[in-house]
Structure 1
Amino acid sequence: MSFDVPEDRNYLESHEWTTLEEDTVTVGITDFAQDELGDVVFVELPSEGDTVTAGDTFGVIESIKAVSDLYAPVSGEVTAVNEALFDQPELVNDDPFGDGWMLKINVSDDDTSDSLLTAAEYADQIA
């Protein structure tokens, strides 16, 4: 089975994806991750204004099969949370790279996250 791995993103080994626009990183989970989890039934996310640290957990995703931690790709302040996921967690399954996004983080100046994978590196990891 092949999974969608958009070239315009970076990835974590823990299966989160990121896009960077100016100083803001958008975060979600990958097509591979949502497939492994199965039907997502609950997502716990931080609040706007919270601070996250690269490599630390920022939330939890629960499916009919498992509960998994979500990991921050960068350090900074949460500037937006996808509140639609609270009522429709299945958006993560339906559109993991679009409507299923989770949060936006304003990257802090001292962020040192260099553990992000390219699309090709992530594709190799899940192959």
Structure 2
Amino acid sequence: MEIQGYHLPEDLYYEKNHYWVRKEGDILVMGMDDFAQKLAGDIVFVQIPFAGKKLAVGKKFAQVESGKWLGKVNAPVNGELIEGNEALETEPSLINQDCYGRGWMYRIRPDDMAELKDLLHDPADIEKWLLEDIEKYKQD
């Protein structure tokens, strides 16, 4: 769906800090959404933690940096980090170029796939949340 110039695919789950999650079998793929990458500007660094790192929902496990912003990446679910997108180490701008494709960030093995229900997935809820954040972060 398109909301005020921001593209948010409806088949994804979103956490409130503007990271998306896509279910691929028993694994979750995670990345930064279009709103966040546009707000951050040119991404210059993505921390790729070691595989096997235990993740706790809502807790920081990595950092992302742009020329004007340093942000934390919180775990969307409890689980284990099984892979980071190593291409981002040399080309972090992939997030700006293709945030839902080649710019994916992490692969996670969740402890319980049912935790996805705690993320935003309903189009009406996603639209309400995004419109609130567009207003909150509006630049004068």
Fold match (TM-score > 0.5): yes
1:125 aligns with 2:134: no
1:82 aligns with 2:85: yes
Q: Aligned residues, how many?
A: 127
- Give the aligned partner of residue 105 of structure 2: 102
Q: Which has the larger radius of gyration?
A: 2
1:22 aligns with 2:1: no
TM-score with structure 1 length normalisation? 0.92
Q: Name which of structure 1's ranges 43-52 and 59-68 shifts more when overlaid on structure 2.
A: 43-52
Greater helix fraction, Structure 1 or Structure 2: 2
State the Cα deviation string for residues 11-55 of structure 1 (Å, max 9, x = none). 001101001122211100100000000000001121111111111
Structure 2, unmatched stretches of 5+, are 132-140
CA RMSD of aligned residues (A): 1.6
Task: Work out whether residues 13 and 116 of structure 2, in 8 Å CA contact, stay in contact via their aligned partners in 1.
Answer: no
1:57 aligns with 2:60: yes
**Partners of 1:36 and 1:106 in 2: how far apart?**
29
TM-score with structure 2 length normalisation? 0.84
Structure 1, unmatched stretches of 5+, are none
Percent identity of equivalent pairs: 36
Question: 1:106, CA displacement in angstroms?
Answer: 0.7
SS in 2 for 1:70: strand
- Give the aligned partner of residue 92 of structure 1: 95
